[in-house]
Amino acid sequence: MSDQIYDIAIIGGGIVGAATFYKIQKAYPSLKILLVEKEEGFANHQTGNNSGVIHSGLYYTPGSLKAKNCVQGRHEIVAFAKEHNVAHDVCGKVVVATKETELPFMEKIFNNGIANNTEGIEKITGQQIKDFEPHVEGIGGIWVPCTGIIDYKGATEKMIEVAVSIGKDSKAMLGTEATGFEHSEAYNTLHTTKGSFKAKKTIFCGGLQADRLAKKDGVKIKEKVVGFRGDYYELTDEAKHKVKNLIYPVPNPEFPFLGVHFTRMTNGEIECGPNAVFTFKREGYGKTDFSFRDTASALSYGGTWKLFFKNMSFGINEYRRAFSKKLFLKTLQELIPSLTMDDIKPGRAGVRALLLGADGDTRDDFRIVYRKNSIHVLNAPSPAATASMSIGREIADMAVEQFSI
């Protein structure tokens, strides 16, 4: 065990852990902070496998933590990207209604956007949609100029790099999995696969492992994290001209995901997706990946089955699309009818963590709790990457209040 006693240890090197490290270290340069990440690279899970979108704040209930942090965080991460040359582009997006039945909910999310100070949004006609995306067919839409794209993995790495450069005694370690915790009056002991470390306070940003880490730390938590995989297709080079920037459907309010959309990435690729299917391995990105532990944990939990039953028809359709290029294409053609089988090719996949209640509720808002000498980020679903700087600042404020740093 090292004799070094850190002021704070942060578990998790995704973008929320990185932003927390950055925000605290920047505000308190003299603090000794240790960040540990179990993978051999930062942002290897949810952060590095999401759609790379800088969200605007359009979809979130006014007054919620998601709404507040998304809008504030969006401004902060764009400013950070500009300052540190992280690849990004505030290119705008269109949200497209293709059926009359979608118009009332489109109106609702537009009003959300107004309430959430989503600047510049405007309702547009089906013809006006073509001014932005000529190949899209719709009956109405919303133009959202402040939405953008960013390299979230690059942003995560840069936040950690800057934080380490500020704190001369601070450190970020890869390949270091947290395996256990002990508490004493003077400090916490963090046991890892690379030895044990002492820290006065601990902050957990464990993403897909958030519930397990919380229980290891003695937090009583009734909910359970359940993973959902999202599969993407990519447009072929010959079809890329059919998408200029970002195209989203009007989300179905009865389904807890935003739906399949088109995203121009910072590397020039154009992705279509994701779907959303239950994954038999929390950190499994292949369609046949399996973990007995993760599967048993999810399927022995009543909340998982209640979520399945509430969304039975959606879930069946999502699974069918996961294994059928033809069905996936059919969904994409609702927005761009001219797409063909030759226009799309299989892409990557990501996994999302949902904190499920026993009643099948997805615990949709951000959730951060304090326990004695620890802070736990229990739930940080989308738009957590967009909101990461704001979440990091909230955690820093909580640390000041609870830890007296």
We report the CATH number of the domain holding residue 332 as 3.30.9
* Interval 106-161: pLDDT, tens: 999 999 999 999 999 999 999 999 999 999 999 999 999 999 999 999 999 999 99
* Interval 2-53: pLDDT, tens: 678 999 999 999 999 999 999 999 999 999 999 999 999 999 999 999 999 9
pTM above 0.85, yes or no: yes
Both 274 and 294 in a single domain?
yes
Both 242 and 199 in a single domain?
no
Residue with the bigger pLDDT between 184 and 292: it is 292
- C-alpha dihedral (9, 11, 12, 18), degrees to nearest 10: -20
Both 236 and 358 in a single domain?
yes
78 domain residue, yes or no:
no
57 domain residue, yes or no:
no
Tokens found for residue 345: 């090719």
Both 303 and 290 in a single domain?
yes
Question: Which of residues 124, 145, 166 is at a domain's end?
Answer: 145
Both 173 and 42 in a single domain?
yes
32 domain residue, yes or no:
yes
Both 242 and 338 in a single domain?
yes
Residue with the bigger pLDDT between 372 and 256: it is 372
Q: Which burial class, exposed, middle or buried, applies to 293 when counting CB atoms under 10 A from its CB (0-12, 13-18, 19+)?
A: exposed
Both 164 and 38 in a single domain?
yes
- How far apart CA 315 and CA 308 sit, in angstroms, is 7
What is the residue range of 342's domain? 224-362
Number of domains in the chain: 3
29 domain residue, yes or no:
yes
Asked whether 404 and 376 are in contact (CB, 8 A), the reply is: no
65 domain residue, yes or no:
no
Both 205 and 269 in a single domain?
no
Both 132 and 210 in a single domain?
no
pLDDT band at 185 (very low <50, low <70, confident <90, very high): confident
Q: Is the pLDDT of residue 277 over 70?
A: yes
Both 368 and 354 in a single domain?
no
Residue 351 burial (CB count, 10 A): 22
354 domain residue, yes or no:
yes
Both 189 and 239 in a single domain?
no
313 domain residue, yes or no:
yes
Q: Is the pLDDT of residue 247 over 70?
A: yes
- What pLDDT score does 256 carry? 63
Q: Calculate the CA 73 to chain-centre distance.
A: 13
* Interval 343-370: pLDDT, tens: 999 999 999 998 999 998 887 789 999 9
Both 353 and 283 in a single domain?
yes
- What pLDDT score does 167 carry? 96
